[in-house]
Amino acid sequence: MNHLPEVWGRPRNDVYGAYDHSYLQGSHPMQHTQQPIVTGTSVIALKFNGGVVIAADNLASYGSLARFTDVERLKQVGTHTVVGAGGDISDMQHLYEKLLDSLIIKEEYQNDGHSLRASHIYRYLSRVLYHRRCKFDPLWNTILVAGWDDGKPFLASADLLGTTFSSPALATGFGAHLAVPLLRRVCPDENAVKSLTKEKAIETIEECMKVLFYRDARSLNKYSMAVITGEGVEQVPLSGEGKEKVHVEWKKDITLENQSWKFAEGIRGYGAQTV
Amino acid sequence: MSLSSVEPLSFDPAYSFEASQSRDHSGAPRQHSFNPYTDNGGTILGITGDDFVVLAGDTRHTAGYNINSRTERKVYRLGDNNLILATVGFGADSKDVAETMTRAVNDFKFNHNLKNMTVNAAAQYLFTVLYGNRFFPKYTHCILAGLDKDGKGRLYSYDSVGSYSKEGERRAAAGAASSLIVPFLDNQVEFKNQYLPASNGTQERPVEDLPKETVIKLVKDAFTSATERHIEVGDGLQIITVTKDGVFEEMTELKKD
């Protein structure tokens, strides 16, 4: 006999055969994702006149260990959209490689000239995230969907709870604290989008990535950026339907430049020390 | 005596209860650290007149001390008739309820020979939607409004599991700053604690339906006051008015600090 009361007096397998485990199902909780393990930090994005720019660094952390330094967290989905994900990397890979890839393949089976626009991708992703939170089995991510939709730039956010919102300047994680105030300086509302140039938007995003590298301990000085630009709606003859021209420009493995560290040479001690 | 009889039986892989070993020693099921709810702030408010109804909500969407968006609307038109719904609380649940209601109102039209859902039918349906999630509630407070068959303004407010008053209400407020707004509406819409001058506090001021212009003014005053004293209220104000002539939306600014 052992010390575990629950096994006392059970019929012996060698006499009565093995216990039917199916009776035990549901007697203890299913194991779901309870915390993120390998994580990505902020994704930041900004609308400008004629498009959206989105960026995320290439780091996947394992706690405080900077474990993988060559991870692409932005993904082009179809022709109109770039999705960026922060949070758990395995859940991100599930979203990208299982759900979004097969979504695009299914759409292309139709071969009807129609392609999924940014709002369609966003709606799909936000419903998946909300559905999973309702099953108590969340995908531990915060995502930004950037793209071109119906003649306008598109930018919106969704998280592991299924919370959705949209704004001309968005950032996830640490970026919500550090980058959003900087982005809102150049783009406080939808009106400001109309007067914001692509060059100024890219410059602002680069500046934010630098601030995030200074202040976010789980960030990296190597990042990717995608610039989605659309050219309004081009009229297709006969059908009268509009066809959008969307261009996605990728910049990968960007290294942060012009960092300011020179001032550190003059710092001595924590108070009275002078040498 | 054979040695096997003193070995812990659970080490035998064929033994029927090895699964129970994976539990921790307290024997209690492990708690999920995942919390499926959050609060996204915001406030909504509704007031009825005799032949109109007004629903309003601010457009700030928050996460703790962060502002997610300054332009996220929370008052929805349900289909193309005179039904409107405002939802506040947990943003994801709120939007899901609004979507469910929109679909129900549209389906009703298709299933009933293009007849529009009445406001009291929509009110009863919203109860079933919310109560249907009784044990995993939609963390959202709803205010539903519309015009009834006689063209009178109707207003219903709900808690998160569906309780509502079938008679409807004259005014309702919900969300972050409801405790700031409800006392004001009690006084200015229901004329509570107001007495006729010279009656020496014996004759209450009679309750009457307010004109639309007065109601809009009260709504704006309620929200500017709430913006001053509640950090989760601000940015923009969405006011939807339903009259027999249709549904009108007005957007105004609130302080962004």
ipTM: 0.86
Question: If you measure CA to CA, which chain A residue comes closest to B31?
Answer: A29
Q: Is B34 inside a domain boundary?
A: no
Q: Return residues 60-79 of B near A (CB < 8 Å).
A: 61, 63, 66, 68-72
Whether residues A164 and B91 touch (CB distance < 8 A) is answered with yes
Q: Which amino acid is at B234?
A: G
**Distances from the Cα of A211 to the Cα of A44, A200, A215, B143, B235, angstroms:** 12, 17, 6, 43, 27
User: For residue B212, what pLDDT is reported?
Assistant: 97
Phi-psi region at B198: left, alpha or beta (left = phi > 0; alpha = psi -120 to 50) = left
| CB-closest option in B15, B70, B92 to A167 | B70
Whether residues B16 and A10 touch (CB distance < 8 A) is answered with yes
| CB-closest option in A35, A162, A177 to B92 | A162
- H helices present in B112-139, as ranges: 119-131
| CB-closest option in A163, A176, A190 to B40 | A163
Q: Is B36 inside a domain boundary?
A: no
The lowest-confidence range among A18-32, A187-201, B13-27 is B13-27
Q: State whether the Cα torsion A57-A59-A64-A65 is positive or negative.
A: negative
Q: Return residues 28-47 of B near A (CB < 8 Å).
A: 29-30, 32-34, 36-38, 40
Q: Which residue has the tokens 């960092």?
A: A259
Phi, psi (deg, nearest 5) at residue A193: -60, -40
Contacts of B9 in chain A (CB under 8 A): 2, 7, 10
Phi, psi (deg, nearest 5) at residue B180: -85, -30
CA A241/CA A235 separation, integer angstroms:
6
Whether residues B9 and A2 touch (CB distance < 8 A) is answered with yes
What helix, strand, coil percent values describe chain B, rounded to 5? 30, 25, 45
Question: If you measure CA to CA, which chain A residue comes closest to B15?
Answer: A13
Closest by CA position to B222, among listed B181, B191, B187: B181
Q: What count of CB pairs under 8 Å joins A to B?
A: 95
Contacts of B33 in chain A (CB under 8 A): 34-35
Report whether pLDDT(A17) > 90: no
CA A205/CA A146 separation, integer angstroms:
14
Closest by CA position to B65, among listed A49, A94, A177: A177
Whether residues B63 and A180 touch (CB distance < 8 A) is answered with no
Report whether pLDDT(A237) > 70: no
In this prediction, the residues of chain B whose per-residue pLDDT falls under 70 are 1-32
DSSP single-letter state for residue A14: H
Strands lying side by side in the sheet with B75-77? B75-77, B84-89, B140-147, B153-157
Question: If you measure CA to CA, which chain A residue comes closest to B236?
Answer: A189
User: For residue A22, what pLDDT is reported?
Assistant: 67
Which residues of A are marked as active site? Answer: 33
**Distances from the Cα of A155 to the Cα of A24, A38, A211, B164, angstroms:** 47, 26, 22, 37
Question: If you measure CA to CA, which chain A residue comes closest to B256?
Answer: A188
Q: Which residue has the tokens 């629950």?
A: A6
Six token digits for residue B167: 């008679």
Six token digits for residue A11: 């019929």
User: For residue B31, what pLDDT is reported?
Assistant: 55
**Distances from the Cα of B138 to the Cα of A166, B36, B95, B120, B170, angstroms:** 22, 10, 10, 21, 25
Tell me: domain A38-258, CATH 3.90.226.10, correct? no
Rounded to the nearest angstrom, the minimum Cα separation between A224 and chain B is 24
Contacts of A161 in chain B (CB under 8 A): 36-38, 90, 92
Q: Which residue has the tokens 């059970």?
A: A10
CA B187/CA B201 separation, integer angstroms:
15
Six token digits for residue A46: 């900004």
User: For residue A12, what pLDDT is reported?
Assistant: 73
| Inter-residue contact A183 to A171 (CB < 8 Å) | yes
CA A256/CA A216 separation, integer angstroms:
14
User: For residue B16, what pLDDT is reported?
Assistant: 40
Whether residues A7 and B15 touch (CB distance < 8 A) is answered with yes
Rounded to the nearest angstrom, the minimum Cα separation between A36 and chain B is 11
Closest by CA position to B78, among listed B108, B96, B101: B101
Report whether pLDDT(A9) > 80: no
CA B37/CA A160 separation, integer angstroms:
10
Rounded to the nearest angstrom, the minimum Cα separation between A253 and chain B is 29
Cα angle value A228/A229/A230 (rounded, 5°) = 125
CA B198/CA A72 separation, integer angstroms:
77
CA A200/CA A196 separation, integer angstroms:
7
Six token digits for residue B111: 């299933």
Rounded to the nearest angstrom, the minimum Cα separation between B31 and chain A is 9
User: For residue B165, what pLDDT is reported?
Assistant: 95
| Termini Cα distance of chain B | 81
Task: Report the residue count for chain A.
Answer: 275
Closest by CA position to A117, among listed A84, A166, A144, A78: A78
User: For residue A21, what pLDDT is reported?
Assistant: 67
DSSP single-letter state for residue A262: G
Number of domains composing chain B = 1
Whether residues A165 and B61 touch (CB distance < 8 A) is answered with yes
Contacts of B2 in chain A (CB under 8 A): none
Tens-digit pLDDT profile for residues A87-140: 999 999 999 999 999 999 999 999 888 889 999 999 999 999 999 999 999 999
The answer, for B90 touching chain A at a CB cutoff of 8 Å, is yes
User: For residue A114, what pLDDT is reported?
Assistant: 86
| CB-closest option in B17, B40, B72 to A7 | B17
Q: What CATH number is given to the structural domain containing B157?
A: 3.60.20.10
Structural domain boundaries, residue B125? 43-254
